[in-house]
Homo-oligomer: A and B are copies of this chain.
């Protein structure tokens, strides 16, 4: 394989720290080798720190982020159960699809794509129709929106005796995800975004309330592979043989989580915020309109309107071929209307932002747009400048 080098500024995978890829090429261990189970234990301990939880049940599903979401719904939902989905984008739609497939009676509270969910709507819906599970996407990758008021949503779910399931695929490791403080009952993520690892595993954590719900099921989980009540016995001293854990992915996840813990979560959040702010400032200085509610934009995914006159596919192909930079469009109503630019994990850096802006400037110019020369990079650098004193940069 001869592979070109890419700056991956789509929505995942992102470029991992080279140390993560090196860890993935380490020699394999057997799945019940004490040296390997000790790596599993470390992964669990690191993941608890990153999820900000003391949940003993904190491990990884051997599938991508989507598989983690499915494991949550498959394991908690029985046919006929009521599920309320807070839906304002493509991954809210996925929760609806998953809950429907697993036999739930699904209600939704919605917001237009590019907006976020009002917690009062969740409360009002639960008052009308109690639900066993409330599912919400913390960072809606499809629109670039960050759901606020998670603590309030957690409080509402506790009061209404609903299990709160949160998709933190894009947010974990990039912005605060406070599993315990927000009373999240089950939270799932994916490796290939702000955790900075290749795609292929899905960290998951859940509390005693969720574990009781698994134990209290009347019917077995339809999926064997995503049956958390089995997986938790594999990821425990019991070491129930389930599937053969993906060894190299586990190494990669171990190294990725170790690097996060080493950097410090707060420093990492700050780094993502600064990179996102810089990118947004740079784009605006180039005359680009950002998409969605300005109060709730994700730092790690910046959604922008494709400027008039810029052909979506051809311009992205040019950016990829001439500059080796990947950005992506979105789904459904936003396909061909917006681009999404990721600054995640290792790429949440000023140099990534300036490089992307330089590439975009060239591509926009060749589509005939008039862009003030270098304005994007300058504005980005300016916006990036403020450094808080206790911030540590990655080596």
Q: How far is the CA of A62 from the CA of B224 in the complex (A)?
A: 15
A343 at the interface (CB under 8 A from B): no
Residues of chain A from 240 to 256 with CB closer than 8 A to chain B in the complex: 241-249, 251-252, 254-255
Closest CB-CB distance, A249 to chain B, in whole Å?
Answer: 6
Q: Which residues of chain B have C-beta atoms less than 8 A from A32's C-beta?
A: 328
Would you call B25 and A25 a contact (CB within 8 A)?
yes
Would you call B23 and A27 a contact (CB within 8 A)?
no
Would you call B25 and A3 a contact (CB within 8 A)?
no
Closest CB-CB distance, A333 to chain B, in whole Å?
Answer: 15
Would you call B6 and A33 a contact (CB within 8 A)?
yes
A102 at the interface (CB under 8 A from B): yes
Q: Which residues of chain B have C-beta atoms less than 8 A from A323's C-beta?
A: none
Q: Please tell me which stretch of A10-18, A286-294, A364-372 contacts chain B, meaning at least 4 of its Cβ atoms lie within 8 angstroms of it.
A: A10-18
Q: Which residues of chain B have C-beta atoms less than 8 A from A328's C-beta?
A: 30, 32
Q: Which residues of chain B have C-beta atoms less than 8 A from A254's C-beta?
A: 1
Would you call A26 and B1 a contact (CB within 8 A)?
yes
Would you call A12 and B244 a contact (CB within 8 A)?
yes
A381 at the interface (CB under 8 A from B): no
Q: How far is the CA of A123 from the CA of B82 in the complex (A)?
A: 44
Q: Which of B1, B13, B248 contacts A31 (CB 8 A)?
A: B13
Would you call A101 and B224 a contact (CB within 8 A)?
yes
Would you call B28 and A246 a contact (CB within 8 A)?
no
Residues of chain A from 157 to 216 with CB closer than 8 A to chain B in the complex: 190, 192, 198-200
Q: Please tell me which stretch of A64-72, A259-267, A353-361 contacts chain B, meaning at least 4 of its Cβ atoms lie within 8 angstroms of it.
A: A64-72
A222 at the interface (CB under 8 A from B): yes
Chain B: which residue is nearest A327 at the CB level? B30
A116 at the interface (CB under 8 A from B): no
A98 at the interface (CB under 8 A from B): yes
Would you call B30 and A10 a contact (CB within 8 A)?
yes
Q: Which of B26, B31, B94, B326 contacts A30 (CB 8 A)?
A: B326
Would you call B27 and A5 a contact (CB within 8 A)?
yes
A338 at the interface (CB under 8 A from B): no
Q: How far is the CA of A320 from the CA of B103 in the complex (A)?
A: 46
Q: How far is the CA of A192 from the CA of B249 in the complex (A)?
A: 13
Q: Which residues of chain B have C-beta atoms less than 8 A from A97's C-beta?
A: 224
Q: Which of B23, B33, B67 contacts A225 (CB 8 A)?
A: B67
Would you call B62 and A222 a contact (CB within 8 A)?
no
Q: How far is the CA of A14 from the CA of B190 in the complex (A)?
A: 26
Chain B: which residue is nearest A223 at the CB level? B223
* Chain A to chain B contacts (Cβ below 8 Å), 13 pairs: A3-B26, A4-B35, A5-B27, A6-B27, A6-B33, A8-B29, A10-B30, A21-B26, A62-B67, A64-B243, A65-B243, A101-B221, A222-B222
